[in-house]
Chain A
Amino acid sequence: MLEPGELGRLLGPGGNELLCESCFEELDRYVELGLGDADADAQIPGMREHLEGCPACREDYESLRAFVLSEGRKAR
């Protein structure tokens, strides 16, 4: 059975997206922009789409965001 979400996983985000190498290159900046007031998606086009389409990079993004947040909390 194909669950409704699986259709999206099969067909991906559509539109223009970064690929994994550029995603990794921009990941730190994207995370910091996202934690600040900046519009990270506008500044790094194609990133959000890639994170929707690539489960591994998505996990890397979530980990970095969570870790930076937890470090910031400790340092306060």
Chain B
Amino acid sequence: MGAKDSGSPTAGRDVEARVDGEAERGVPPRPTAGSELSKPDSGRWVEELSTEGRVRDDAVARLHALLLRAARFEVKRRRGSLPHLRGDELEDIAHQSADDAVVAVLGKLGDFRGESLFTTWAYKFALLETAVNLRRRAWQGRETPLEPESWPHFDDPHASPEADAERSELMAAIGDAVATALTPHQRHVLVSVALNDVPIDVLADRLGTTRGALYKTIHDARRKLRTKLAESGLEVAAAGEGARP
């Protein structure tokens, strides 16, 4: 995930005002057909960001302007989840996220393989930093619930008695699998993220780990549950599985 060190390599708002027009050069002409057309631009980005002096400073300033636009876009998309934040607080988050993203992009420049436009590659760092920062803010001071209040079960008033019985059996088996097949850590992480909607980044912060490590825990827990259910003779097809051979 992105670098967490703050400290903008650029001068923030002033820079953005000065280079905004320039930054338009980094925009792909069209997301579909633009790829081939703009590959040389991607090379130029990397070249200019890798050099020194005035050329690099200008490129960094243009990069910051691009990433700030991405960050503001993300803030706009998510502002419904943060109704208590004022406009200037949201703008601060956008700036902080753009600063972090510039640091992350410069740090990972060597990883850019040119398989997408440089701008698309760079945007993802800004969108990630912004999303993570906003999720953190939304959960600031909130407890992350540990367990579902009571073990949930299907309750469909329209289901036939047979379907009801099948579901009850399935739910009992799942409840049993969750209780017996998982470690307490697996249970906690899986229930928090999958059932209680705790953002995985927020939980990772609180447990002192990363999104990737926590997802691996979830992945392993799900596999254990599926194995356990299969052992009980219950096959559970998951959403989207049918489309694949």
Contact B219 A70 (CB under 8 A): no
* Partner among B30, B74, B121, B200 whose Cβ is within 8 Å of the Cβ of A72: B30
CA–CA, A15 and B243, complex, Å = 12
* Partner among A11, A36, A64 whose Cβ is within 8 Å of the Cβ of B32: A36
Q: How many A-B residue pairs have CB under 8 A?
A: 156
Contact A11 B226 (CB under 8 A): yes
Query: For A70, what are the chain B residues with a Cβ–Cβ distance below 8 Å?
Result: 73
Does B70 touch A at the CB level, under 8 Å?
yes
Query: For A53, what are the chain B residues with a Cβ–Cβ distance below 8 Å?
Result: 218-219, 222
Does B225 touch A at the CB level, under 8 Å?
yes
Contact B30 A8 (CB under 8 A): no
Query: For A56, what are the chain B residues with a Cβ–Cβ distance below 8 Å?
Result: 131, 135, 199-201, 211
Query: For A72, what are the chain B residues with a Cβ–Cβ distance below 8 Å?
Result: 27-32, 34
Q: How many residues of A contact B (CB 8 A)?
A: 48
CA–CA, A54 and B200, complex, Å = 9
CA–CA, A46 and B35, complex, Å = 23
CB proximity of B22 to chain A, nearest CB, Å? 14
Query: For A10, what are the chain B residues with a Cβ–Cβ distance below 8 Å?
Result: 174, 190, 194-195, 222, 225
CB proximity of A33 to chain B, nearest CB, Å? 9
Contact A8 B238, CB 8 Å, known A21-B212, A56-B199, A63-B77: yes
* Partner among A2, A12, A55 whose Cβ is within 8 Å of the Cβ of B153: A2
Contact A63 B131, CB 8 Å, known A1-B155, A68-B31, A68-B120: yes
CA–CA, A17 and B35, complex, Å = 27
Contact B152 A2 (CB under 8 A): yes
Please provide the chain A residues from 1 to 18 with a CB less than 8 Å away from any CB of chain B in the complex: 1-2, 4, 6-15, 17
Mark B residues whose CB is within 8 Å of A: 1, 24, 27-35, 70, 73-74, 77, 111, 115-117, 119-121, 123-124, 127-128, 131, 135, 152-156, 170-171, 174, 190, 193-195, 197, 199-201, 211-212, 215-216, 218-219, 222, 225-226, 236-241, 244
